């Protein structure tokens, strides 16, 4: 349950933050839900496909966070004005859909954050019907 004692930090999904999350004591995780800002391939130094980037992020998340605690993922930087156009997966799906689905398949309790900049496309890729 979220209340005034629950902490939701906004973190980049980088090596330092991953190490900090991996070393967070279990007693603290109960009062802590990270909101991870996931960078698109255009922000990475390596030239990778969108699919490779999404899968690498899932592997990183699976190493630093456990399956018993929820985490938020934010693809804000995958949307204009931060990139010229939203990158698409080889399947044609929005990366948010594959990121969350792959994370759930790995046992992660992922909740996608939909930014207010361009919610229509991101909402369309998720089934929020219950």
Q: pLDDT tens digit string along 72-114?
A: 988 878 776 677 777 788 888 788 888 888 888 999 998 888 6
d(CA 27, CA 79): 35
d(CA 20, CA 10): 13
* Annotated domain spans of the chain: 10-124
Tens-place pLDDT, residues 9-50 = 999 888 899 999 999 998 888 898 999 888 887 665 666 788
Q: Which of 129 and 46 is assigned the larger pLDDT? A: 46
Give the pTM: 0.76
The pLDDT assigned to 130 comes to 39
Tens-place pLDDT, residues 42-80 = 665 666 788 888 888 899 999 999 888 999 988 878 776
The pLDDT assigned to 123 comes to 56
Q: H or E segment at 11?
A: strand 10-12
Q: DSSP letter at 65? A: S
d(CA 79, CA 61): 21
d(CA 84, CA 73): 21
């Amino acid at each position: 349950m979220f209340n005034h004692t629950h902490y939701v930090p906004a973190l980049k999904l980088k090596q330092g933050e991953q190490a900090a999350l991996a070393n967070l004591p279990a007693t603290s995780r109960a009062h802590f839900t990270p909101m991870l800002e996931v960078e698109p391939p255009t922000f990475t130094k390596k030239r990778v496909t969108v699919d490779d980037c999404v899968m690498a992020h899932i592997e990183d998340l699976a190493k630093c966070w456990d399956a018993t605690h929820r985490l938020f993922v934010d693809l804000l930087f995958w949307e204009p004005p931060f990139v010229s156009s939203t990158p698409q997966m080889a399947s044609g799906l929005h990366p948010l859909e594959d990121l969350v689905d792959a994370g759930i398949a790995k046992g992660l309790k992922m909740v996608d954050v939909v930014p207010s900049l361009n919610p229509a496309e991101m909402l369309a890729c998720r089934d929020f019907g219950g």
